[in-house]
């Protein structure tokens, strides 16, 4: 009998490990634990869990709500000793408590509802089993006694510890996400402030410089005077104005990640290619692409992504450009945290040294001759757009041997194709 109970309890532990392996939210943990216990009614007569705050205990899990729901209320006031005393006592103990509903409760206090629970209850305070911030108590009901009860207590302690550990991981993850969200919000606020300054405060003096420079240029032309220095001033001011406008455009790319529109990437590439129709004919460029998949995203941003890549390929190529765009679908089985579409973009451009790859996606970074056209913002735009879609982008390049971009974008099934 002892060996059989040990075997069955071990099986519950294994089921619990499997169930909790991918749980990443508190409610999901409660649901999965409850499901495991409901599958094993003979080994665990009753399972209940309460979360406690300063004033009340809230029921978050119960193994048989139909049978025990009425006597295990969803909310208990911790100021009412007639109903909350067992939870208060368990929350402050160092290990676990055993309550005998036939004896201990009757001696201590008359609790009609609690007396209807199984003969014995094992109460484990999760806060004592981990560094969990929230206060919670797990309650197991049992009818065992003697050595069998001791065996069950050991297993129940392990189960309670597993629940506590899983909740602690979720708690830490939630804190990390909240901190990341706060930092992101602060960064976005700073970026918005920079955008405002760039589009207003910094542009205004440049406009005045150009206005007065143009007045001086007209005066110089009217009087037959050389105006080379004035032209350089005007050109520099125009260049500075363009840089500021790029900052405004970069800061204006909206961040979301919660996209609901289905976007056909094949159509996106077609639109991006059409924007360079004249340049493609002029340079005798050859562009090939496969039929790409659909993802949820921002169509304009994704079109701008491929526009920037195409613009770079056409600009930085000294021979007829050859551009290829292909894709494959990845899965979490490959070790990724999500299913992705991997877009491979290659060209035969002049390339750059791979040691500069880290700088390629930085703002205003030009990896080629400074005299070549370009503002060093194209790939910075690409990186931000991809990250807006919860993806990532990297690059491989060699001098005079072309460049390859690998773009990973989260993908899910299109309901129209299911």
Q: How far apart are CA 13 and CA 29, in angstroms?
A: 14
Q: Residue 372's domain is classified under what CATH number? A: 3.30.565.10
Considering the domain architecture, whether residues 21 and 169 belong to the same structural domain is answered as: yes
Instruction: State the pLDDT at residue 272.
Output: 96
Whether residue 184 is contained in a domain is answered as no
Instruction: Provide the pLDDT for residue 344.
Output: 96
CA 251 and chain centroid, separation? 21
Show the beta-strand stretches assigned E in 106-241: 120-125, 135-142
Q: Give the pLDDT confidence score for residue 81 in this predicted structure.
A: 67
Q: What is the pLDDT of residues 267-298, one digit of tens each?
A: 999 999 999 999 999 999 999 998 999 999 99
In terms of domains, do 248 and 385 share one?
no
- Compute the residue count for the chain: 418
**pLDDT score at 107:** 32
Give a yes or no: residue 235 inside a domain. Answer: yes
What span, in angstroms and rounded, lies between the C-alpha atoms of 228 and 217?
A: 9
- Whether residue 17 lies inside any domain: the answer is yes
CA distance 277 to 21: 52
Query: Using CA atoms, how far apart are residues 68 and 16, in angstroms rounded to an integer?
Result: 22
pLDDT at 108: 36
Domain boundary among 191, 223, 252: 252
Q: Given this model, what pLDDT does residue 123 score?
A: 74
pLDDT computed for residue 240 by the predictor: 75
Retrieve residue 140's tokens: 């197991």
Instruction: Give the residue from 325, 277, 294 showing the smallest Cα distance to 414.
Output: 294
Residues 19 and 167 in one domain: yes
pLDDT at 106: 32
Query: HSE on the CB side for 259, CA within 13 Å?
Result: 26
Task: Identify whether residues 45 and 9 lie together within a single domain.
Answer: yes
Q: What is the pLDDT of residues 192-240, one digit of tens each?
A: 766 666 666 666 777 778 787 887 777 777 666 667 777 777 777 777 7
- SS3 label, residue 159: helix
Q: Are 305 and 356 in contact (CB under 8 A)?
A: no
| pLDDT at residue 402, rounded to an integer | 92
With a cut of 50, which residues of the chain have pLDDT below it? 103-117, 129, 132, 415-418
Residue 155 lies in a domain: yes
Domain's final residue, options 134, 158, 176: 176
Does residue 59 sit in the same domain as residue 143?
yes
d(CA 365, CA 359): 7
Q: Decide if 189 is inside a domain.
A: no
What's the start-to-end Cα distance of the chain, in Å?
51
DSSP 12-72: HHHHHHHHHTT--SHHHHHHHHHHHHHT-TTT-SEEEEEEE-SSEEEEEEES-HHHHGGGS
CA pair distance 325, 345, nearest whole angstrom: 5
Backbone angles phi, psi at 276, to 5 degrees: -115, 25
Domain hosting residue 240, numbered range: 202-252
Tell me, yes or no, whether 302 and 240 share the same domain. Answer: no
Residue 276 to residue 264: CA distance in whole angstroms? 20
Regarding whether 12 and 139 lie in a shared domain, the answer is yes
How high is the pLDDT of residue 139? 74
How much is the pLDDT for 373?
Answer: 56
Contacts of 77 (CB under 8 A, 6+ apart): 55, 56, 83, 84
- Positive or negative, the Cα torsion across 106, 109, 110, 111? negative
* 95 and 209 share one domain: no
Say if 308 falls within a structural domain.
yes
Q: Tell whether 159 and 207 lie within a shared domain.
A: no
Report the number of distinct structural domains present in the chain.
3
**DSSP character string of 329-388:** E--GGGT-SS-EEEEEEEE-S----GGGHHHHTSTT---S-TTSS--S-HHHHHHHHHHH
Burial of 151 (0-12, 13-18, 19+ CB in 10 A): middle
Pairing of strands 286-289, 322-329: parallel
Q: Which two tokens stand for residue 190?
A: 């700073």
The Cα 102–Cα 104 span in angstroms is 7
Task: Note the pLDDT of residue 392.
Answer: 92
Q: Among 45, 40, 47, which Cα is nearest to 11's?
A: 40
What pLDDT, on the 0 to 100 scale, is given for residue 274? 96
Domain termination residue (choose one: 126, 160, 176): 176
Assigned domain for 185 exists: no
β-pair type (56-62, 46-52):
antiparallel
Residue 316 lies in a domain: yes
């Amino acid at each position: 009998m002892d060996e059989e109970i040990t075997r069955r309890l071990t099986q519950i532990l294994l089921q619990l490990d499997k169930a909790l392996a991918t749980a990443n939210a508190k409610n999901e943990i409660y649901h999965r634990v409850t499901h495991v216990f409901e599958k094993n009614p003979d080994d665990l007569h009753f399972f209940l869990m309460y979360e406690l705050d300063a004033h009340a205990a809230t029921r978050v899990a119960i193994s048989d709500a139909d049978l025990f729901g009425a006597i295990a209320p969803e909310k208990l006031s911790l100021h009412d000793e007639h109903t909350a005393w067992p939870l208060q006592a368990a929350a402050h103990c160092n290990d676990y408590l055993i309550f005998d509903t036939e004896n201990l409760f009757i001696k201590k206090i008359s609790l009609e509802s609690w007396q209807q629970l199984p003969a014995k209850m094992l109460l484990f305070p999760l806060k004592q089993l981990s560094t969990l911030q929230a206060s919670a108590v797990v309650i197991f009901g049992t009818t065992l006694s003697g050595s069998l009860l001791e065996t069950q207590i050991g297993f129940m302690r392990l189960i309670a510890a597993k629940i506590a550990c899983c909740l602690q991981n979720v708690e830490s993850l939630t804190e990390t996400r909240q901190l990341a969200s706060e930092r992101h919000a602060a960064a976005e606020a700073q970026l918005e402030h920079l955008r405002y300054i760039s589009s207003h405060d910094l542009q205004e003096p440049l406009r005045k410089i150009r206005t007065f420079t143009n007045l001086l240029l007209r005066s110089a032309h009217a009087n037959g005077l050389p105006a080379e220095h004035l032209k350089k001033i005007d050109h520099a001011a125009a260049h500075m104005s363009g840089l500021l406008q790029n900052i405004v455009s970069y800061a204006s790319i909206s961040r979301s990640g919660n996209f609901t529109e289905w976007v056909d990437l094949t159509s996106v590439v077609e639109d991006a290619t059409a924007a360079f129709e004249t340049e493609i004919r002029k340079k005798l460029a050859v562009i090939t692409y496969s039929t790409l998949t659909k993802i949820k995203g921002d169509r304009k941003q994704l079109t701008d992504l491929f526009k920037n890549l195409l613009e770079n390929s056409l600009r930085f190529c000294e021979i007829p450009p050859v551009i290829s765009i292909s894709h494959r679908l990845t899965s979490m089985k490959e070790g990724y945290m999500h299913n992705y579409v991997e877009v491979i973009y290659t060209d035969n451009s002049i390339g750059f040294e791979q040691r500069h790859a880290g700088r390629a996606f930085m703002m205003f970074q030009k990896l080629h001759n400074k005299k070549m056209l370009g503002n060093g913002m194209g790939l910075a735009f690409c990186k931000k757009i991809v990250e807006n879609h919860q993806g990532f982008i990297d690059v491989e390049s060699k001098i005079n041997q072309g460049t390859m971009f690998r773009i990973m974008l989260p993908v899910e099934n299109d309901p129209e194709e299911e």
